[in-house]
Structure 1
Amino acid sequence: MFDQIVTSTFTPIVAFYPNTTTHATSHDKTLDLKNSLSQTLTKYYPFAGRHSKTAPAVVDCNDQGVEFLEASVDSALSDFLQKSQHEDLNQLFPHGLVWYESNYKYHDQSDSVSPLAVQVNRFECGGLAVAVSLSHKVGDGSSLIWFLNDWAKVARSCRYPNRLNHEHSINPHFISFEPTNLNFQGFSIEVPKDCVTRSFTFPNKKLNDLKHKVIAMSVESGQPITDPTRVEVLTWLLYKCAVGSNSCKPAGIGMPTNIRGTMVEPLPENSIGNILAVIEIHTKNESEMQPGFLIRAIKEKKKELRGIKNLQMVFDHLWNKFSKADMEDQQRRIDRDGSYVCSSLCRAPVYEIDFGWGKPIKVTLAGHVGKNSFALMDTPDGDGIEAFVCMKKQDMDRFQSNSELQAFC
């Protein structure tokens, strides 16, 4: 069901690895990646199939394989990470396949789409950047991260064959339903040309200060909260500052949430697909922008998710919502300038993706996630959160200069 609702977009993640080995060249590492990817795809066989543009939620598992590109970058890895802009990351991905964008010349001519694409980028210093784009039609962010870790396990077993086999065993859990035609092409999400994405780093020490501030504000407003999380307080701060930089009335914020382990009948964490629900918080006035209201509402919605019995219950809810609702009204909500989306990959094991030559020094998302969107990831040292914020440039100029935001960066 969610596969039909989500837009035709590719989630782009890139991991950077310094040249720390003397016994393996970048060519050897690339060969290891190719061989281990082939083995991994025997378990992740839908990723090697094709889905039709006319029926994108159905994957033909025909073992056509995935595109694997190699590229050279005319700089050292350290220079690229220090001097590049966020938009420069797009060049590391096959055909610029990033979210809603692609410069693939045959993209509009072909009726079938490969769910997965890989590009290995070699830097002058011998460092590598492994960039992977996964169609949101076959999996969410958690699915992509699980796949990358499984691929890395297989690569390590190829490099170190004497290690215990069970350490590198992979067994992704695919869930399938009988195809259900919603007669719905999915929501259209356009990113205006004047949108920009910027990253902001919030150290844990500053986030703890923000927690204390939020608790004090909630007590003062008569809506006390006692245990806000890092993600909750940062979501509130980003939303508040974004609304302050936008002249439109705040409509609300949506938060895609992984529900694998929260259902009464939980699913394994290695379940592959779009196994998520979206928390929606609507804000009508200034009082509902207060942390006491917003964070309490987020917690209540999370509690409701823990009451979901199983995936069938989610299916039934989506069927009722999207088969009866006015789709044009739903689309207008998405397009509204006062609507925001915040997704989080915090606590996800992105820094465990070790292909056999060490853990990455940087893992990041590329491109513009979508207008008025925030994406959160742990910092490389685990001592904070990096937020990727996408909005119109004129709004970004005001957002970046917000003194309250700057106080916690």
Structure 2
Amino acid sequence: MSHKVADGSSITTFIKNWAKSTARDNIENVCPKIVGTTLFPPKDGVDGKSDLPPEENITPKRRFMASTEIKKEPQRRYMLCSPVNIRKIVDPPLADDSFGNIIGAAIISIDSSENDIKVEEGNYDHGLVNKLTRAISKINKDCVKKVQDGKLDLLVVWEGVDENTFKGELVNFVCTSYCGFPIYEADFGWGRPAWVSSGDIACKNTTIFMDTKNGNGIEAWVYLTEEDMAKFERDKELLTYASPTT
């Protein structure tokens, strides 16, 4: 799947409906409603090509996670990007099975010297969470309308990002969630899947959250370089809150 074509919601809905038509001879409501270009028509002079090469030596691991702490290091800034599903934000709201890359992006920056990465036991409502929550809340109907009217080029909200963000060493993270998507509802005739994974991706410092099959837990697929993964797996605080698996 390419994000030029679809987002996580689109692909999981497509697979579920594909299974319906294949295994159950049911053709009702299996055709995706392709609305991406209707909402955001392509702009002249933009070809959508990406010249970024795939990164090498990316190692995925699966974890049931509750919380962990970002390590602060001198002279570093951290930037976190979180995609946001806007199907219920646009006016009028879209159906869940609307097909396309129908997302915005909330991007926050954290200075390693700031006291906003601290996580205390039993209380996770600190600067990191607050910044991300504020950024996501700003991706609203007004923001979408500005993009549609050409007043904004991209459906992206920045929180805590300024000219100093790009000075010195910058570490980028991407965090996205498939939680709530019908990933375990695809039945091609031999039953629902025993386990669904996120597959390999070629982007380091990426975390993908997915529901467990019983719905009582969350798997976090963490993609790091082999060197960083080796350090990550030995982190004592992480092991306090998470159950690491391969």
- Is TM (by shorter chain) over 0.5? yes
- Asked if residue 262 in structure 1 is aligned to residue 102 in structure 2, the reply is no
Partner of 1:148: 15
Q: 1:172 aligns with which of 18, 28, 32?
A: 32
Partner of 2:110: 283
Partner of 1:381: 214
SS at match of 1:135: coil
Partner of 1:192: 55
For residue 265 of structure 1, report the CA deviation from its aligned partner.
2.8
Gap runs ≥5 in structure 2: 119-123, 157-162
Does the CA-based 8 Å contact 2:56-2:202 persist in structure 1?
Answer: no
Does the CA-based 8 Å contact 1:337-1:372 persist in structure 2?
Answer: no
Does the CA-based 8 Å contact 1:190-1:370 persist in structure 2?
Answer: no
TM-score, normalised via structure 2 length: 0.78
Partner of 2:6: 139
Aligned pair count?
222
Partner of 2:226: 393
Does the CA-based 8 Å contact 2:80-2:172 persist in structure 1?
Answer: yes
Does the CA-based 8 Å contact 2:54-2:203 persist in structure 1?
Answer: yes
Residues 107-126 of structure 1 mapped to structure 2, 5 A cutoff? none
Distance 1:337 1:311, change over 3 A: closer
SS at match of 1:388: strand
For residue 271 of structure 1, report the CA deviation from its aligned partner.
1.1
Does the CA-based 8 Å contact 1:265-1:310 persist in structure 2?
Answer: no
CA distance in 1, matches of 2:133, 2:237: 24
Gap runs ≥5 in structure 1: 1-133, 159-164, 208-233, 323-328
Moved more, 247-256 or 348-357: 247-256
- Asked if residue 339 in structure 1 is aligned to residue 172 in structure 2, the reply is yes
For residue 198 of structure 1, report the CA deviation from its aligned partner.
1.6
Partner of 1:296: 130
Partner of 1:308: 141
SS at match of 1:383: coil
Which amino acid counterpart does residue 181 of structure 1 have in structure 2? D
Note the alpha carbon deviations across 1:78-98, whole angstroms, 9 max, x for none: xxxxxxxxxxxxxxxxxxxxx
For residue 186 of structure 1, report the CA deviation from its aligned partner.
4.7
Distance 1:156 1:298, change over 3 A: same
Distance 1:317 1:390, change over 3 A: farther
Residues 321-332 of structure 1 mapped to structure 2, 5 A cutoff? none
CA distance in 1, matches of 2:196, 2:146: 34
Distance 1:289 1:408, change over 3 A: same
Does the CA-based 8 Å contact 1:248-1:338 persist in structure 2?
Answer: no
Does the CA-based 8 Å contact 1:191-1:371 persist in structure 2?
Answer: no
Residues 215-226 of structure 1 mapped to structure 2, 5 A cutoff? none
Residues 213-252 of structure 1 mapped to structure 2, 5 A cutoff? 234=67, 237=68, 240-241=69-70, 243=71, 249-252=76-79
Does the CA-based 8 Å contact 1:174-1:273 persist in structure 2?
Answer: yes
CA distance in 2, matches of 1:385, 1:320: 31
For residue 295 of structure 1, report the CA deviation from its aligned partner.
0.9
Does the CA-based 8 Å contact 2:175-2:207 persist in structure 1?
Answer: yes
CA distance in 2, matches of 1:174, 1:341: 26
- Asked if residue 350 in structure 1 is aligned to residue 183 in structure 2, the reply is yes
For residue 361 of structure 1, report the CA deviation from its aligned partner.
0.3
CA distance in 2, matches of 1:185, 1:270: 24
Larger radius of gyration: 1
SS at match of 1:179: coil
Distance 1:407 1:191, change over 3 A: farther
For residue 174 of structure 1, report the CA deviation from its aligned partner.
1.1
Does the CA-based 8 Å contact 2:81-2:174 persist in structure 1?
Answer: yes
Does the CA-based 8 Å contact 1:190-1:371 persist in structure 2?
Answer: no
Note the alpha carbon deviations across 1:119-159, whole angstroms, 9 max, x for none: xxxxxxxxxxxxxxx2322111111101001101112332x
Note the alpha carbon deviations across 1:187-237, whole angstroms, 9 max, x for none: 5544432332222123xxxx3xxxxxxxxxxxxxxxxxxxxxxxxxx4xx3
For residue 394 of structure 1, report the CA deviation from its aligned partner.
1.6
| Higher-helix-fraction structure | 1
Does the CA-based 8 Å contact 1:145-1:348 persist in structure 2?
Answer: yes
